[in-house]
Structure 1
Amino acid sequence: MTHSISLRRFKSTLVAAVLFGLTFACSTQAETLWVRAGKLIDVERGRVLENQAIRIDGERIVAVADHKNDPSGRWVDWSGYTVLPGLMDMHTHLVGSIMSSEIAAPLYSSAAEDVLKGVENARRTLRAGFTTVRDVGCYRAFTDVALRNAIDGGIVDGPRMFVAGAYITVSGGGGEVTGFAPDVVVPEEMRRGVANSEIEIRQRVRELIGGGATFIKVIATGAVLTAGTTPGAAEYSEAEIRAAVDEAAQYGIFVTAHAHGAEGIKRAVRAGVRSVEHASYLDDEGIALMKKHGTWLVADIYNGDYIAETGRRDHWSEEIMRKNDETTQQQRDGFAKAVKAGVRIAFGTDSGVYPHGDNARQFAYMVRYGLTPMDAIRSATLGSAQLLAKERELGSISAGKLADLIAVEGDPLLDIDKLRQVRGVIKAGRQIRLD
């Protein structure tokens, strides 16, 4: 009796294994996708390949080779386009509405409304060819985490998101909702990252990571767009920033620093942050420190023009307009010096100040201020992947990496603005946009 039951179990297990194997083989074959690229930009070797065939199995690239014939399977014909890795923006704000003249705007919508607005912002960003972003903070804690989870779960379309959870900032600092009368109480959900000592900073880092943050954003100086703060003024000491870096490192997580002022930049670099955002008053000493420590520069050098034009048209406050005028050219000059010195550059635009989906407008500014077109493209592909420490997964069209591809008209190495004319997007092997 026992032998008979064991034999039946063996046969059942064998049949199940065979069926599983057949099902797996069929599903694997069904998931194979071929992409024919008229031109392919190889950001790893700095070259352009012609007439390439890219094989994608499931989410990943399996092979890239000269196109000689058409194997069986599904094909995407991008033979009339230039094909690049999916673009990456390391400084976005997808959740909520874009910047306006109304200082109370963050209080006008609920957390749910902010996330729903983020759904549309994420869709626009992805369709513009940006398949990965670093979302560098939101006023309502963890709304970025909710959007990220919805994208990862396939509920909505959007770029792959790395999220901060909330800003770590001093009371009344660059990461606060400010500009109100002293007796106005800002909701606690908008102050989850407020920390005024090393002990409080460590606590906030743990709370944000526990809530789903995948990196930490420290507001090291005042901000252009935060009322009552001074961009050049340091708001955290070097020891306080280092507390965030050390605490995050225990979880294998990096810290980035919002830092306009020269002293704040240097404190952040010495404290060990992974990247510096904005860097409006970056000086020669700061550049040398960034080069020495391998710190990445993420500078939103298009943004000043948008603020100047839109702010004057829509009557933004005199304070914000003055601070923008004082920092815009200074930031661009520092960026040009950093490029010349060999500082590591990653692409970041501060989308959310300007409308989402026009992220690629900044490429022309980066070329104007010192990058070659190839290096500008690298900053938004392989360079950004390296900043995230995800270069084994992202950043180039190579076997084994996630299949993030875009197609553009023309040659962006001759006219970098061609990157604003995206005609096809594939994210992790899934076709998002085929015009």
Structure 2
Amino acid sequence: MRIYRSCVMALGLVAGAGQAATVVTAAHMIDPVKGVLVDNAMVVIGDDGRVQALAAGNSARPIIPADAKRVDLGDVTILPGLIDMHVHLTSDPTLSGYQGLEYTDNFWTVIGVPNARKTLDAGFTTVRMVGSSNYDDVALKQAIDHGYIAGPRIVPATYAIGVTGGHCDATEYPPSVKVPAPGIANSPGEFRGLVRTLRKYGAEVIKVCMTGGVLSKTDSVGAQQLSYDEIKAVVDEAHMLGMRVAVHAHGTDGINDALRAGVDTIEHASLADAESFKLAKAHGAWFDMDVYDDDYILAEGAKNGVFAESLAKEKMIGLKQRQTFRAAHAAGVKMLFGTDAGVYPHGDNAKQFAKMVEWGMTPMEAIRAATSDAAIALDRANDVGQLTPGHFGDIVAVAGDPSTDVRLLEHPAWVIKGGQVVLSPSR
């Protein structure tokens, strides 16, 4: 193991592992905060993996350390490393339905390793994992942070929590089959205790299943599953402990009660209405809507073993969700980039950009949703989402201008994490 970690460190996957400062130059750069494209970009990244200096356009060039490593990316456009706010790295969409029962519990941790690499190579240097079993997301985070494997920065939720018989429970088995349910609670007090337990074992965000869902077999996709008092207990406890709350919610009533309780992000938000938009704006909440994966579920779901009941729910909800996305954006609701990767193949995350533009956003708004805005919603605005001094030196580079053709982000030429090149044209 020590030999393997030494090799990983030699490959530069551990930020700050003895490297000198790195100077990255490129023909163009997108500043998502200002919403502009500038030429002649230079980013100086220190040996701690964070940006020391930035220059673009006609601004003065910073003083370069004599021993700095120079990385000229050429005629490309760089932007901050991308952020996906809704992933499941330990899921495989080709093993849906009952197919997963053929594999041992720890199998899912193992497949998280290549999925993490695929996600990083796709230009996503930070992700929020909103639900995994066995604290797998914490394990992946630890392995990545300590240099054993390559992957994005992970904000883990550990178990997604919910009620007995709800979307986060195992409802596809008969009563004779007993399945562990460490993420299940059934009263405000139980939910408070569960939040404390998850935080104890590594959760940095709390994920709640507020309504039914598509891929759960037996529930109604829009039915509310937690009471207002229960979700309020979760929010109060999490916020007291310094954590944010992400809520899976398709149905209108569940969305609105969650917003009234003060949640931070609504995942999916398929049947949100005008009242939902008002509540989100009043409470400062974000909508995090996975508007790409409907295409994949309907095209590949049956072959992958997705339950017939789930396919029927997806046919009912998919178009409505996209229409809600357009209406929410038009109403001025704050929007994020979250894909539900794991429901579709990892590494295809950037395919959602085009769907966001198709359903109402400008390319720059979609880019901002996956960079500076996502960093704010993560409570990591001082670390990621921008290329300014103090932030991590996370960079994705593409040929052309993604602020006019957002599909260019589907094919990154370079990916840099913490000043270290992890993807280049030669790899």
Please report the TM-score for the alignment, with normalisation by the length of structure 2.
Answer: 0.91
Are the equivalent residues in 1 in contact too, given 2:98–2:305 (CA < 8 A)?
no
Aligned equivalent of 1:84 = 79
Deviations 1:273-294 (A, max 9, x none): 1100001111111111111111
Aligned equivalent of 1:150 = 143
Aligned equivalent of 1:98 = 93
Aligned equivalent of 2:153 = 160
Aligned equivalent of 1:264 = 254
| Post-superposition offset of 1:228 | 0.2
Aligned equivalent of 2:288 = 298
| Post-superposition offset of 1:99 | 5.0
| Post-superposition offset of 1:101 | 4.1
CA gap of 1:314–1:47, structure 2 versus 1, over 3 A, is: same
Q: Does 1:110 align with 2:104?
A: yes
Q: Does 1:39 align with 2:28?
A: yes
Q: Does 1:226 align with 2:216?
A: yes
Amino acid at match of 2:320: Q
Distance 2:366 2:71 in 1: 27
Aligned pairs for 1:347-426 within 5 A? 347-426=337-416
For structure 1, list consecutive stretches of 5 or more residues without a partner in the other structure.
1-26
Partner residue of 2:275 out of 285, 298, 305: 285
Are the equivalent residues in 2 in contact too, given 1:94–1:121 (CA < 8 A)?
yes
Amino acid at match of 2:327: K
Q: Does 1:122 align with 2:116?
A: yes
Partner residue of 1:215 out of 175, 199, 205: 205
Higher helix residue share: 1
Deviations 1:121-171 (A, max 9, x none): 000000100000000001x23111111111111111100000111011111
Aligned equivalent of 1:250 = 240
| Post-superposition offset of 1:104 | 5.2
Moved more, 227-236 or 312-321: 312-321
CA gap of 1:310–1:31, structure 2 versus 1, over 3 A, is: same
Aligned equivalent of 1:14 = none
| Post-superposition offset of 1:337 | 0.7
Q: Does 1:428 align with 2:418?
A: yes
| Post-superposition offset of 1:318 | 2.2
Q: Does 1:134 align with 2:124?
A: no
| Post-superposition offset of 1:79 | 2.3
Are the equivalent residues in 1 in contact too, given 2:217–2:310 (CA < 8 A)?
yes
Q: How many residues align?
A: 404
Please report the TM-score for the alignment, with normalisation by the length of structure 1.
Answer: 0.90
Distance 2:143 2:160 in 1: 21
Distance 2:230 2:329 in 1: 29
Distance 2:397 2:345 in 1: 22
Amino acid at match of 1:35: V
Are the equivalent residues in 1 in contact too, given 2:94–2:304 (CA < 8 A)?
no
CA gap of 1:101–1:157, structure 2 versus 1, over 3 A, is: closer
CA gap of 1:66–1:331, structure 2 versus 1, over 3 A, is: closer
Distance 2:91 2:313 in 1: 24
- Secondary structure of 1:174's counterpart equals coil
Aligned equivalent of 1:184 = 177
CA gap of 1:232–1:99, structure 2 versus 1, over 3 A, is: farther
| Post-superposition offset of 1:179 | 1.2
| Post-superposition offset of 1:112 | 2.6
| Post-superposition offset of 1:103 | 2.6
- Secondary structure of 2:39's counterpart equals strand
CA gap of 1:57–1:315, structure 2 versus 1, over 3 A, is: closer
Deviations 1:365-423 (A, max 9, x none): 00011111001000000010000111111111111211111111111112110001101
Are the equivalent residues in 1 in contact too, given 2:215–2:307 (CA < 8 A)?
no
The one of the two structures with greater contact order (alpha-carbon pairs below 8 A, sep at least 6) is: 2
Distance 1:116 1:374 in 2: 36
Are the equivalent residues in 2 in contact too, given 1:167–1:219 (CA < 8 A)?
yes
Distance 2:125 2:417 in 1: 6
- Secondary structure of 1:297's counterpart equals strand
Distance 2:349 2:299 in 1: 17
Aligned equivalent of 1:13 = none
Distance 1:224 1:121 in 2: 23
Are the equivalent residues in 1 in contact too, given 2:302–2:308 (CA < 8 A)?
no
Distance 1:248 1:30 in 2: 38
Distance 2:193 2:265 in 1: 22
Q: Which has the larger radius of gyration?
A: 1
| Post-superposition offset of 1:114 | 1.3
| Post-superposition offset of 1:313 | 4.3
CA gap of 1:295–1:121, structure 2 versus 1, over 3 A, is: same
- Secondary structure of 2:76's counterpart equals strand
RMSD, matched Cα: 1.8
| Post-superposition offset of 1:52 | 1.3
Aligned equivalent of 1:343 = 333
| Post-superposition offset of 1:108 | 3.1
Q: Does 1:54 align with 2:43?
A: yes
Are the equivalent residues in 1 in contact too, given 2:126–2:152 (CA < 8 A)?
yes
| Post-superposition offset of 1:29 | 10
Aligned equivalent of 1:15 = none
- Secondary structure of 2:70's counterpart equals strand
CA gap of 1:66–1:385, structure 2 versus 1, over 3 A, is: closer
Are the equivalent residues in 1 in contact too, given 2:161–2:184 (CA < 8 A)?
yes
Distance 1:311 1:399 in 2: 44
Are the equivalent residues in 1 in contact too, given 2:93–2:304 (CA < 8 A)?
no
Distance 1:146 1:313 in 2: 31
